[in-house]
Amino acid sequence: MTQIQLECFLSAALNGSLSTAAKSLFLSTQVVSQHIQHLEAEVDHQLFVRTKNGVTLTDYGQKFFNLASEWSVLYKDAIRNIEEYYVGLASSLSIGLSEYVDYMGEISSPIVAFTASHKNILINGNHYKSSDLLKQIEEKTLDIAIIPDSQIVSGGDFEVAPFAKENLQLYISADIKDKKNLKIGSKELDKIVKEVPQLNTSYGVWTDKEWEEVSNRMSLSQNYRPQRFYELPNFRSVAVTLRSFPASAVCDARFGYKVGKSIFRTPLNTESWLCCVWHKQNENRLIREFADHMINYYGEAK
């Protein structure tokens, strides 16, 4: 019996749905179902009655739920007591950032703030390819990673803490007479998008394929594809170029450059999140503290 099995069981019982439980745990529905099936096999009892409308507890499942809930409270209290015991000890934290996160942007502010409040702790941070990040987390060469949820592989034995919803915005620098008419789906915006070339994003240098992938995410609201590609090292370079060359760029508004008088933005709707990800068995007490710090930082920034 593992912690993740109990978490899947408790979440499914509380939500009455495997899919809702999977979403709350950042796992696939199939993985949640498998964990519960393994748990049922271990206790040798059926825990849920499954219907097309969701799941409900069996009589045995209700008894098991009561015990599991009590155990969960005791387990969290024990972890908290252990963390409080070790809180004064020097430690280290290795942070990995996805290649799609601009470490020179606003993401650096909460990391610097966390480092400043933990002066007796060695904190290292580096950029990695997203696939390498997950591998290093599994091997515990990295304690925690900051990565977009689209890069997280379902089924991994990870803890995932979303801390900021991606806020893609379209930055435009051009001779615009009436900015009020530039709304998502408007003819005026579509015309400008077709006339001005596309620049890079705040996530660093992208290949044509990667840029097209982001462009496709915008297609539901914008209905266009990029027409030209300009490779620039980071969004600071994009911002400088925008001031002297009519163009448009897509970036995350929180991690990009401040908008000057000559640049304005049109919000784009997305459902993607930036997340803190770590291995469930990693016992570094700083991991949860860092994840909570990121959640609180961006929660207060709203």
**DSSP secondary structure string for all residues of 37-85:** HHHHHHHTS--EEEETTEEEE-HHHHHHHHHHHHHHHHHHHHHHHHHHH
- What pLDDT, on a 0 to 100 scale, did the predictor assign at position 143? 92
The per-residue pLDDT for 268 is 61
Pairwise CA distance, residues 244 & 227, whole Å: 19
Architecture of domain 3-86: Orthogonal Bundle (1.10)
pLDDT at 213: 58
Which fold does the domain 92-166+272-300 belong to in CATH?
D-Maltodextrin-Binding Protein; domain 2 (3.40.190)
Report residue 1 as tokens: 């019996």
Helix ranges, the chain (H): 3-15, 18-25, 29-43, 59-86, 108-116, 130-139, 187-195, 208-222, 235-244, 286-300
> pTM for this structure?
0.51
Tens digit of each residue's pLDDT, the chain (302 residues): 788 888 898 889 999 899 898 888 888 888 999 999 998 998 898 999 998 888 899 999 898 888 888 887 887 777 776 666 555 554 789 999 887 676 656 677 888 888 888 887 888 888 887 778 888 888 888 999 988 777 777 667 888 998 887 766 777 776 677 777 777 667 877 777 677 766 655 555 555 565 555 555 544 444 444 445 555 555 555 666 666 666 666 666 655 544 555 566 666 655 678 889 999 888 888 899 999 999 998 886 44
Q: What's the pLDDT tens digit per position in 43-54? A: 898 999 998 888
Query: Within its chain, how far is the Cα of 228 from the centroid?
Result: 29
Given this model, what pLDDT does residue 178 score?
73
- Give the C-alpha separation, 186 to 188, whole Å: 5
Strand partners, 275: 147, 162
* DSSP secondary structure letter of residue 198: B
